[in-house]
């Protein structure tokens, strides 16, 4: 049959030892009335908080804002593709905090890092370094400029001939 537990004031449901399991044959709904918070795992001790299972179909999180904070490393991993996007023209910002850090995209063993956009802009307060174990190609479909604002521009074909073609 049906069971309702109602209290007229703040209440605690706990065990003095062992696990407290809440299980449902149907949907399990946890909510508060109005705008009161729902807090899970808030005791200030080291613990693992698990949501879902490897066999779960989906973990769906919806809110006006979602914030993920970690005092240590944070890993986002997937067996399939990972998609990150915004609705409309809102920016996608990675590593924008104004502190010195390394932002790594890809790995030496990655097959390809593919960057596509109407405009690609690389800005540096220091040096921009491009290295390739294989060939490097820079191709443009319109008039182009390669210049320095100070100092010399050096092109070195150390192991072969330098070819300049104005065809």
Cite the beta strand spans of the chain per DSSP E. Answer: none
Mean pLDDT split into 10-residue runs, the chain, 167 residues:
88 90 90 91 91 92 92 91 92 92 92 93 90 88 90 86 82
Check residue 102 and give its pLDDT: 93
Check residue 164 and give its pLDDT: 84
Query: In sequence order, which residues have a C-beta less than 8 Å from that of residue 101 and are 6 or more positions away?
Result: 95
d(CA 64, CA 142): 44
Residue pair 84/92 in contact by the 8 Å Cβ criterion: yes
Check residue 109 and give its pLDDT: 93
What is the SS3 assignment for 36?
Answer: coil
Check residue 163 and give its pLDDT: 84
Residue pair 54/60 in contact by the 8 Å Cβ criterion: no
Check residue 104 and give its pLDDT: 92
d(CA 34, CA 20): 27
What's the pTM value of the predicted model, to 2 decimals?
0.64
């Amino acid at each position: 049959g049906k069971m309702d537990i109602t209290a007229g004031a703040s209440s605690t449901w706990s065990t003095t030892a062992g696990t407290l399991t809440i299980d449902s044959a149907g949907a399990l709904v946890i909510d508060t009335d109005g705008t009161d918070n729902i807090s899970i795992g808030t005791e200030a001790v080291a613990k693992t908080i698990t949501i879902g299972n490897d066999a779960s179909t989906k973990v769906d999180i919806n809110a006006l804002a979602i914030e993920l904070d970690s005092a240590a490393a944070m890993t986002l991993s997937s067996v399939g593709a990972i998609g990150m996007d915004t609705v409309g023209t809102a920016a996608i910002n990675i590593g924008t905090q104004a502190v010195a850090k390394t932002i790594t995209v890809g790995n030496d063993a990655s097959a390809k890092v593919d960057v596509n956009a109407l405009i690609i802009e690389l800005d540096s307060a220091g040096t921009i370094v491009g290295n390739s174990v294989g060939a490097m190609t820079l191709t443009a479909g319109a008039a182009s400029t390669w210049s320095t604002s100070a100092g010399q521009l050096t092109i070195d074909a150390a192991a072969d001939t330098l070819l300049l073609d104005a065809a």
